[in-house]
Amino acid sequence: MRLSKIKLAGFKSFVDPTTIPFPSNLVGIVGPNGCGKSNTIDAVRWVMGESSAKYLRGDSMEDVIFNGSSSRQPVGQASIELVFDNSDGGLGGEYACYAEIAVRRRVTRDGQSQYFLNGTRCRRRDITDIFLGTGLGPRSYAIIEQGMISRLIEAKPEELRVYLEEAAGISKYKERRRETENRIRHTRENLERLQDLRDEVE
Binding site per annotation, positions? 32-39
> Which of 6, 8, 9, 39 touches ligand ATP by CB under 6 A?
39
CB of 12 to ligand ATP, least distance (A): 4
Local structure of residue 27 (DSSP, 8 states): -
Segment interacting with ligand ATP, rule: CB under 6 A, options 19-27, 36-44, 113-121, 152-160: 36-44
Binding annotation for ATP: 32-39
Q: Is 38 in the site for ligand ATP (CB under 6 A)?
A: yes
**Nearer Cβ to ligand ATP, position 13 or 128?**
13
Q: Which amino acid is at 153?
A: I
Q: Is 12 in the site for ligand ATP (CB under 6 A)?
A: yes
Q: CA separation (Å) from 98 to 75, 102, 106, 169, 170?
A: 33, 10, 22, 21, 24
Question: From edge to edge, which strands make up the β-sheet containing 113-117?
Answer: 18-21, 2-9, 77-85, 100-108, 113-117, 120-122
Q: Is 108 in the site for ligand ATP (CB under 6 A)?
A: no
Q: Is 109 in the site for ligand ATP (CB under 6 A)?
A: no
105: β partners: 80, 115
Q: Where are the alpha helices (DSSP H) in the chain?
A: 37-47, 124-131, 148-154, 157-167, 171-201
Question: What is the Cα–Cα distance from 86 to 182, expressed in whole angstroms?
Answer: 33
Residues of this chain, 56-95, that bind ligand ATP according to CB under 6 A: 63, 65-67
Q: Is 35 in the site for ligand ATP (CB under 6 A)?
A: yes
How many residues bind ligand ATP, per CB under 6 A?
14
Q: Which residues bind ligand ATP (CB under 6 A)?
A: 12-13, 31, 33-39, 63, 65-67
